[in-house]
Amino acid sequence: MNALGELVELRAMRPGDADALWRWNHDPDVMRFMVAGYPQTPETVAKFLTERPRNAYGDVLFGVESRKDGKLIGLIGLQGAEPETGIAELNIYLGEKDYWGQGYATDAMRTACRYGFDRMRLHRIWLTVVAGNDPARHVYQKIGFVEEGRLRQASRRDGEWTDAYLMGLLAGELR
């Protein structure tokens, strides 16, 4: 089931998306604030996309596609959701740098949160953002996320430990 925003369409990931995902995961600019795993081959990434369980309530992974040109530009997911708690963690990144700073991340976040609150009946969506990732933090605050805490030295960047912010959004707070 797809979700439409103003600028983006959120859709299930496809095996053909592996090349873009591999490219993004090996781009230092894209991965600067992400928790990067170990280098993988394009075949390993394709295997992940074909063998991962299909989207289900507790684990939804969407490709972020530009409605303007149909290009896959990033990923967004809601993970760890349980009907009993109504809480999920949100993760996002845009891998196509040509689409940065044009409202695509904001629209993808808003669309994913609306999907979580309306279709999944979530009550709370949370995320963490690394200190220094001010563009992402600005996007999160713009749609209503509130800083709830600080995780000290939770991430290592360029050989230095940095803090991360815990942010949350409740149903009814989405802007």
Q: What's the domain range around 64?
A: 3-170
Indicate which CATH number applies to the domain containing 163.
3.40.630.30
Tally of domains within the chain: 1
Is 175 contained in some domain? no
What is the C-alpha to C-alpha distance for residues 4 and 93, in angstroms, rounded to an integer? 18
Q: What is the pLDDT of residues 86-122, one digit of tens each?
A: 999 999 989 999 999 999 999 999 999 999 999 999 9
Q: What is the pLDDT of residues 129-175, one digit of tens each?
A: 999 999 999 999 999 999 999 999 998 877 889 999 999 999 999 98
Q: What is the pTM of this model?
A: 0.89
Is 105 contained in some domain? yes
| Mutual angle of helices 42-51 and 18-25, in 10-degree steps | 120
